[in-house]
Structure 1
């Protein structure tokens, strides 16, 4: 069965990742798109998801790629129309709304996929297997990048619900929650808010687990020069380093796993499998950690940020 797919919210991530991934997967046929500003050549385009769903009844599944603050309403419309739904990360602006979407998908008998693309980085599963065979003594997460390079002119990320530095930071949390064998929880946090913004530009969070794990995560959007997407763990089997956002795994300085990045093709393969199996995949652990950081965190005001 070919899955007739529609995409909503045609922005940078769709052009860079979603469209090439879909084009390279024979399980899909892209039949429509909806966006206030963007268009996809060669298919039907609409200004709203309502108009798209009404005009193209053959749609089987919808990928929702607009900012998270606007995703819930669109997802409800797609689910109520009996469509399978792929949620770009983060899956929503709040935990409660995504939990409601999961219940709606279950009631309608369709698939809901809360996608975490960084979990599909090439060395993540190798890191998970390595840590499963040893004791983790401590872990350090450094996710630091230049917001001007990766999110130029995107005001929504600075608005309530836009997550600020947690937009990339949640990628790190999605990997951490995948590779560790047992759950962790935040014990303290500091969030740095520019004085002219409603979302943080930097965050430091300390986590632990039932065995007292020492886990520190540092997220910063003010990094210039080389960018940092690294997770390092001191273990009984040596020092593990997962670098490049999950692209490369090394142990005691020796590379043990490295492959080309194929995150979004892997996401779409998984989504097709979910659709065909009639299952959903809605793991909210990364978003829950962000919510906990906002709940627990001490707020510091820092200098204004101007794009």
Structure 2
């Protein structure tokens, strides 16, 4: 390659916009909300059915109110007690994600996941078949069942559009590895039973909307003052007495992403000096001080 060709190539690299790392506009990003807290069983007390119904409704409304206008479209898949058939099954979740990622102009898809969660990387969705009027829940492994189903239905190009997932499911930290396997670039989840959504959820949403990184937005949610109070209150309830309650959220993946970032963005990792380098640095400092 001659000098002139090299100059032209370098100019092209710097002048042509890099679509992988350029900021995304509102028209290029969609938001998916999955909401299913209906206990499903007819044996469940009406009190808890009412509680979870309110949480579902207000959770969806909260997301719409805080960040809905920052996305081209908000897609909601939500179960309701009066549904005649299951609406939030693995199949309906996969179908929705397939539909959203097929749009050619959509470059990023974020997801708010609001379902019951269990430790060991499991979450609850509805079973497809209804038995005796009960929309019984089904325990699914995020890493095995969900990742496999999505991987089988969506192309690699579609999955590349997944960006971040914020989960309010209990034991969400155990689901993180599974969500990254699904294709999301950044994920978060609580260490145990999740209780502080009323205080921490708006904090996360506001910071994400303001353009802060995913990690910083989650950090802000973790510093909510009401956090410890809600955990302590719920831990005293008989229903949760045998469970560990800990709403503190962990994060993993490309957590430097913001609401404007491309899913292709990679975070720069700060390299820590090795023990040998630290030792040499201390030796140099000692030599300088002794020379004086």
Instruction: Name the TM tier (shorter chain).
Output: 0.3 to 0.5
Bigger relative contact order, structure 1 or 2 (CA pairs below 8 A, ≥6 apart): 1
What is the TM-score when the length of structure 2 is the normalising length? Answer: 0.36
Higher helix fraction: Structure 1 or Structure 2? 2
What is the TM-score when the length of structure 1 is the normalising length? Answer: 0.35
Higher strand fraction: Structure 1 or Structure 2? 1
